[in-house]
């Protein structure tokens, strides 16, 4: 379902999905020396949830946007991988939220800020390795120098958040990209 008027729009969707013969890393063994995985078809994954988004304009200067999804997902490993039955799929957050705003103080200049949050997720199929929830903030400024061309400066992950993406068997974590600042010229035809 959704709606729109001259100043904004919104959309809300409920869903139920079933993925058969899902391919995933299946834990075969674990020991202090490490974990052995194998890519296998691992039964089914059932997911139900809701997702939505909304955006609103406030005159010619401001626009805000929000989006989110909540997903309840479980694996049924069947006879192929019974140890996975009842677990959440690896790397699947239950909740994701995003929001952003654009401010255009004059016609050629736009400032943008976008934030993203992901809830706790698991790095492994057995849901034993937790990855902390995390959030990032990205900002940008764009100056239109000609129709279809703009100069920009942007900073991704401006707060330099340490977002966990994986954990190795020795306990060390991998992280998403740190703060990145970039500038350039963008041309669109």
- What CATH number should be reported for the domain holding residue 107? 2.40.170.20
Distance between CA 116 and CA 97 in Å, rounded?
A: 6
* Residue among 141, 138, 142 at smallest CA distance from 155: 138
3-state secondary structure of 81: coil
Question: How many structural domains comprise the chain?
Answer: 1
Per-residue confidence (pLDDT) for residue 32, from 0 to 100 = 73
| pTM of the shown model | 0.86
Average pLDDT, rounded, for the chain: 93
**Phi, psi (degrees; rounded to nearest 5) at 112:** -130, 140
Mean pLDDT of 127-154: 96
Read off φ and ψ for residue 180, nearest 5 degrees. Answer: -130, 125
Do residues 122 and 88 lie in contact, with contact meaning Cβ atoms separated by under 8 Å?
A: yes
- What are the φ and ψ backbone dihedral angles of 82, each rounded to 5 degrees? -60, -25
- In the predicted model, what is the mean pLDDT of residues 106-124? 96
Q: Domain containing 38: what range?
A: 2-187
Contact 26, 84 (CB under 8 A): yes
If one compares 80 and 57, the residue with the highest pLDDT of the two is 57
Flag whether pLDDT at 38 surpasses 90.
no
Phi-psi group of 60: left, alpha or beta (phi > 0 → left; psi -120 to 50 → alpha; rest → beta): alpha
């Amino acid at each position: 379902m959704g709606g729109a008027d001259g100043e904004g729009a919104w959309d809300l969707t409920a869903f139920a999905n079933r993925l058969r013969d899902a391919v995933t890393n299946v834990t075969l063994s674990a020991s202090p020396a490490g974990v052995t995985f194998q890519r296998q078809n691992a039964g089914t994954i059932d997911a139900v949830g809701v997702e939505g988004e909304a955006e609103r304009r406030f005159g010619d200067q401001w626009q805000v946007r929000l989006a989110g999804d909540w997903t309840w997902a479980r694996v049924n490993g069947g006879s192929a991988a019974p140890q996975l039955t009842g677990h959440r799929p690896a790397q699947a957050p239950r909740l994701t939220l995003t929001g952003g705003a654009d401010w255009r103080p004059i016609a050629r200049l736009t400032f943008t800020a976008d934030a993203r949050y992901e809830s706790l997720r698991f790095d492994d199929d057995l849901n034993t390795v937790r990855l902390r929830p995390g959030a990032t903030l990205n900002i940008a400024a764009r100056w239109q120098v000609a129709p279809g061309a703009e100069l920009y400066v942007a900073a991704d992950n401006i707060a330099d958040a340490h977002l966990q993406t994986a954990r190795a068997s020795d306990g060390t974590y991998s992280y998403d990209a740190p703060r990145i600042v970039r500038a350039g010229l963008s041309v669109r035809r």
